[in-house]
Structure 1
């Protein structure tokens, strides 16, 4: 099932992203940037090794992980956290835990609809505020 995630994805639509970012403590300037740019994700899988390359005109991020193993992550807005990825019910699940006191945690689920749509649902666990981001498969 992991092979369905492999490829290049371009953000097409984002619902409630500003409210989600606000709930995570992202400042107004970074929220404006986050709402105005197009994001791309490239997902690679090689055996147990996963890589997600997140690129935009503003900033880039690379996540390299094995399912079930915690990694250190610096989010696109600069927060430091611990993330663990699992694969459940045909979804790539990421639990992102804040390191600093008072920071919120996120539950992120990526799943494929059809052959060309990647749906990413990010939810602030403590405040129960979510965003749904829709990506379409593309060829760079």
Structure 2
């Protein structure tokens, strides 16, 4: 999974609004999210690993967020729209799996890397959003 380390910029996104609706994001926040987290927003993820310590930095038009974690250890966090969640990352073969559990939803986010492309499948409420990133 070391090939996930590095910086990734969003290039394509399918079913994002439908996914956000399915996990309970309010309409006004969905509109904002589509602008600041959608294609053309220059949204960037950067993964780094130092021993057992992982870091995910996310840059959006509305700011920056850093998440530090260890695989298989649940921690408290918040969705980008501010809702509290329990999060746990794990590896399954060549996939990095992130499970987010909120009060009213659960989202399973799978990330895989093929060459210079990272694919993220976000599944919640019966809807899957596919987001693709290029290495930068």
The TM-score normalised by the length of structure 2 is 0.92
Matched, 1:128 2:126: yes
Other-structure match for 1:88: 92
Runs of 4+ displaced beyond 4 Å: none
CA shift, 1:63, in A, is 1.2
Output the CA distance in 2 between the equivalents of 1:60 and 1:108: 20
Matched, 1:43 2:44: no
1:70-89 pair list within 5 angstroms: 70-89=74-93
CA shift, 1:61, in A, is 2.0
Other-structure match for 2:58: 54
The 3 A distance-change label for structure 1 pair 59 and 25 is farther
> How many matched pairs?
131
Where does structure 2 lack aligned partners over 5 or more consecutive residues?
none
Other-structure match for 2:8: 9
CA shift, 1:71, in A, is 0.8
CA shift, 1:28, in A, is 1.7
Output the CA distance in 2 between the equivalents of 1:53 and 1:30: 21
User: What is the RMSD of the two structures over their aligned residues, measured on CA atoms?
Assistant: 1.0
The TM-score normalised by the length of structure 1 is 0.89
Where does structure 1 lack aligned partners over 5 or more consecutive residues?
none
